Amino acid sequence: MLEEKRRGDPSAALADPLARAARLIAGLRPDWRDGEAFYQRRSEALAALRAAAAAPCAACPAAALRDRARRLEALLRHAAAEAARYRRLLASAVRPPRRRRAEPDPRQAALPLACHRLGDSGATPPSR
């Protein structure tokens, strides 16, 4: 197995925790003289088996996909935070004041634009 591990066999990285758990389970025998030692070895075997099940395999394609997904999630969180920061910046920007109509310039003479009806003022319509 060591030769396989040196060559970079992907199953060798997974086999180490499993092989240790298998050795512990294979050596598990009831001890009628010392029951506590048996239970201790059984607990060690269960812990090794749980560790083997939870251990990530660096050479497995699934581990590479998990790492890639983790990096993409971090990138998405960063992009969302940056977008929120820009939204806050845009919301806090001062908008230009609304332009009101210019008031008449007092220096300019006002033209009287009186609209008189012919019958009311007695004025005659301009001749053509």
Tell me the one-letter amino acid at 77. Answer: R
Query: Residue 102: which pLDDT band, with cuts at 50, 70 and 90?
Result: confident
Query: Residue 3: which pLDDT band, with cuts at 50, 70 and 90?
Result: very low
**58: pLDDT strictly greater than 60:** yes
For 11, the token pair is: 């199953």
Cα 45 from Cα 41, distance rounded (Å)? 6
Contacts of 16 (CB under 8 A, 6+ apart): 5
For 83, the token pair is: 């977008």
**116: pLDDT strictly greater than 70:** no
Query: Residue 107: which pLDDT band, with cuts at 50, 70 and 90?
Result: confident
Domain ranges of the chain: 1-57, 60-91
For 91, the token pair is: 């919301």
pLDDT of residue 77: 95
pLDDT of residue 1: 42
**115: pLDDT strictly greater than 80:** no
**48: pLDDT strictly greater than 80:** yes
For 85, the token pair is: 């920061």
Mean pLDDT, the chain, integer: 76
